[in-house]
Amino acid sequence: MSTAEPKTRSPAFPGRISLTDVEPGELRAACQNALATGARMQMAYAWFPDRSSQPEVRYLLHWRGRHPLQLWRTRPQADSLPSLAPLAPLLSWYEREITELCGVTFQDQPQPDPLVLLPGARATRPPLIPGPPVSLEYTPAAHSGLPEMTGPASGDVQWLPFGPIRADVLESAQFDFFYLGEAILHYHPQLFFKHRGMEKRFEGVRPELGVVLAERVSAVGGVAHALAYCQALEAAARCTVPPRAAYLRVLLAELERLYNHLHYLGHLCHTTTLKVGEAQGKYLEELAKQMNARATGSRLLRSLLTPGGLRREPSLAGLTQALEQIEREYLPYAAMLEASTTHLDRLITTGHLSPQLAFDQGATGPIERASGLDRDLRRDYPYAAYGELPFELVSSEGCDAHARAQVRMAEITRSIELIRCIERELPAGAIRAPCEPQARTEGLGWAESPRGSLYYAVHLNDIGTLARVKIKSPSFSNWRVFPFTVHDSNMMDYAINEASFGLTIAGCAR
Amino acid sequence: MPFWSWYGLNSGKASMRWPKGEEDGQERLLGMPRFEPAKCKDGCQRCAEACLPAAIRVLDAAGRVDASIPRVEVDYGRCVVCQMCVEVCPTGAFSASQDWAFGVRHREDLLWRDAVNSPDAQELRGEIRRVFGRSLHIRHVDSGSCNGCESELQALNNPYYNLHRLGIFFTASPRFADLLLVTGPVTYALRGPLLEAYGAMAEPRFVMAVGTCAVSGGVVAGSYSCGQGLDGVIPVDVYLPGCPPNPTAIIHALLMLLQRMPQRVKRGQLAAGVDHA
Handedness of CA B110, B114, B119, B122 (dihedral sign): positive
Q: Which of residues 73-132 of B touch A (CB under 8 A)?
A: 80-84, 87, 96
The string of DSSP letters for A234-283 reads HHHHT----HHHHHHHHHHHHHHHHHHHHHHHHHHHHHTT-HHHHHHHHH
Split at pLDDT 50, 70, 90, the class of B114 is: very low
Cβ-contact A96, A115 below 8 angstroms:
yes
Chain A residues with CB-CB distance to B148 below 8 A? 216, 219-220, 222, 300
Rounded Cα gap, residues A301 and A315, in angstroms: 12
Average pLDDT taken over every residue of chain B: 79
Helix, coil or strand: residue B255: helix
The pLDDT of residue A431 is 93
How many Å apart are CA B84 and CA A208, to the nearest integer?
A: 10
Which residues of B are less than 8 Å from A332 in CB distance? 7
What lies within 8 Å, CB to CB, of B240 at 6+ separation is B101, B102, B103, B208, B209, B210, B211, B215, B249, B250, B253
Q: How confident is the model at residue B126 (pLDDT cuts 50, 70, 90)?
A: very low
pLDDT tens, per residue, chain A with 510 residues: 333 333 333 444 545 788 899 999 999 999 999 999 989 999 999 999 988 889 999 999 988 877 788 999 999 988 899 999 999 999 999 999 999 999 999 999 998 888 999 999 999 999 999 988 899 999 888 777 677 778 777 788 888 889 899 888 999 999 999 998 899 999 999 999 999 999 999 999 999 999 999 999 999 999 999 999 999 999 999 999 999 999 999 999 999 999 999 999 999 999 999 999 999 999 999 999 999 999 999 999 999 999 999 999 999 999 999 999 999 999 999 999 999 999 999 999 999 999 999 999 999 999 999 999 999 999 888 999 998 999 889 999 999 999 999 999 999 999 999 999 999 999 999 999 999 999 999 999 999 999 999 999 999 999 999 999 999 999 999 999 999 999 889 999 999 999 999 999 999 999
Are B219 and A213 within 8 A, CB to CB?
yes
Q: Give the predicted TM-score (pTM) of the model.
A: 0.90
Mutate to test the interface with B, among A102, A169, A284, A345 (most CBs of B within 10 A): A169
Q: Helix (H, G, I), strand (E, B), or coil: what is residue B266?
A: helix
Residue B125 clears pLDDT 50, i.e. is over it: no
Q: How confident is the model at residue B270 (pLDDT cuts 50, 70, 90)?
A: very low
CATH 3.40.50.720 fits A17-138, yes or no: no
Mention every residue, 6+ apart, whose C-beta is less than 8 A from residue A296: A252, A302, A303, A304, A314, A315
The secondary element (H helix, E strand) that includes residue A233 is helix A222-237
Q: Which residues contact B8 (CB under 8 A, 6 or more apart)?
A: A276, A279, A280
Reported ipTM: the value is 0.91
One-letter amino acid at B29 equals: L
Residue B11: what pLDDT? 86
Helix H or strand E encompassing A107: strand A105-107
Which amino acid would we find at residue B264?
Answer: R
Q: A193 and B193 in contact by Cβ < 8 A?
A: yes
Of B52, B147, B159, the CB nearest to A279: B159
Of A168, A197, A336, the CB nearest to B225: A197
User: Least CB-CB distance to B158: which of A135, A201, A282?
Assistant: A282
- Chain A residue whose CA is closest to B223: A197
- 8 Å CB contact between A253 and A224: yes
* Contact between B22 and A289 (Cβ < 8 Å): no
Question: CA-to-CA distance for B84 and A415, rounded, in angstroms?
Answer: 29
The answer to whether A408 and A261 are in contact (CB under 8 A) is: yes
Which residue did the predictor score with more confidence, A207 or B42? Answer: A207
In the DSSP assignment, the letter for residue B129 is G
Each domain of chain A, given as residue ranges in start order, spans 17-138, 156-190, 198-509
Interface mutation target, options A166, A193, A479, chain B, most CBs of B under 10 Å: A193
Report the CATH architecture of A198-509: Orthogonal Bundle (1.10)
Residues of A with Cβ-Cβ distance to B185 under 8 angstroms: 196
Q: Give the residue on A whose Cα is nearest the Cα of B98.
A: A297
Interface check B52 vs A, CB under 8 A: yes
Which of A308 and B261 is assigned the larger pLDDT? A308
Angle between helices A319-337 and A401-425 (to 10 degrees): 160
Phi and psi, residue A262, nearest 5° = -65, -40
- Which domains does chain B show, CATH number per domain? 34-97 (3.30.70.20), 119-267 (3.40.50.12280)
Q: What is the model's pLDDT at position B257?
A: 76
Give contacts of A212 with chain B, Cβ < 8 Å: 52, 80, 82, 84, 219
Of B30, B148, B224, the CB nearest to A197: B224
Which amino acid, one-letter code, is at A250? V
- What is the sign, positive or negative, of the torsion defined by CA atoms of B124, B127, B131, B132? positive
> Among A201, A290, A505, whose Cβ lies nearest the Cβ of B223?
A201
The phi-psi region of residue A374 (left if phi > 0; otherwise alpha if psi is between -120 and 50; otherwise beta) is beta
How far is A285 from chain B, CA to nearest CA, in Å?
Answer: 9
The beta-carbon neighbor of B150 closest among A169, A285, A302 is: A169
